[in-house]
Amino acid sequence: MDRVQGLQLFIRVVETGSFSKASADMGLTQPTATKHVAALEARLGARLLYRSTRGVTPTEVGALYYDKCKRIAQELEEADNLALLLQSRVGGQLRISTSVAFGRRVMTPLVLRFMREHPDLSVDLSFDDRYVNLVEQGVDVALRMGRLADSTLGARFLGLNPWLLAASPAYLQAHGTPDSAEAVAAHPCLVYSSVQGDERWSFTLPDGRIQTVPVKGPLRSNNLSAVLSACRAGMGLAVLPHYVARVSLNEGALVPVLPTLSLPSQELHAVYPSPKLLPGKVQVFVNWLQAQLGERWWEKNLEQEPAPAAGPAQAHPPA
Cβ atoms of residues 102 and 110 within 8 Å: no
Q: Which residues lie closer than 8 Å to 120 by C-beta, 6 or more apart?
A: 89, 90, 91, 92
Cβ atoms of residues 236 and 230 within 8 Å: yes
**Which residue has better confidence, 88 or 256?**
256
Q: 143 phi and psi, to 5 degrees? A: -105, 120
Complete DSSP assignment for 56-72: EEE-HHHHHHHHHHHHH
d(Cα 30, Cα 18) in Å, to the nearest integer? 10
Residue 197 confidence (pLDDT) above 60: no
pTM of this structure: 0.65
Residue 309 confidence (pLDDT) above 70: no
Tell me the pLDDT of the chain averaged across its residues. 86
pLDDT (average), residues 180-191: 95
| Per-residue burial over 98-112, b = 16 or more CB atoms within 10 Å of its CB, e = otherwise | bbebbbebbbbbbbe
Residue 315 confidence (pLDDT) above 50: no
Residue 148 confidence class, pLDDT cut points 50, 70, 90: confident
Cβ atoms of residues 303 and 107 within 8 Å: no
Please report the pLDDT score of residue 183 as a whole number: 96
Residue 133 confidence class, pLDDT cut points 50, 70, 90: confident
Please report the pLDDT score of residue 2 as a whole number: 74
Cβ atoms of residues 227 and 221 within 8 Å: yes
Residue 79 confidence (pLDDT) above 80: no
Q: What percent of the chain has pLDDT over 70?
A: 90
Residue 194 confidence (pLDDT) above 50: yes
State how far Cα 314 lies from the chain centre. 43
State how far Cα 104 lies from the chain centre. 17
* Length of the chain in terms of residues written: 319
Pick the closest to residue 163 from 196, 191, 133, 190 (CA basis).
Answer: 196
Residue 258 confidence (pLDDT) above 80: yes
| Per-residue burial over 205-225, b = 16 or more CB atoms within 10 Å of its CB, e = otherwise | eeeeeeeebebebebebeebe
Please report the pLDDT score of residue 136 as a whole number: 81
d(Cα 312, Cα 314) in Å, to the nearest integer? 6
Please report the pLDDT score of residue 1 as a whole number: 62
Please report the pLDDT score of residue 54 as a whole number: 82
Q: At what angle do helices 30-44 and 3-16 cross, to 10 degrees?
A: 110
Question: Strands 255-256, 49-52: parallel, antiparallel or unpaired by DSSP?
Answer: unpaired
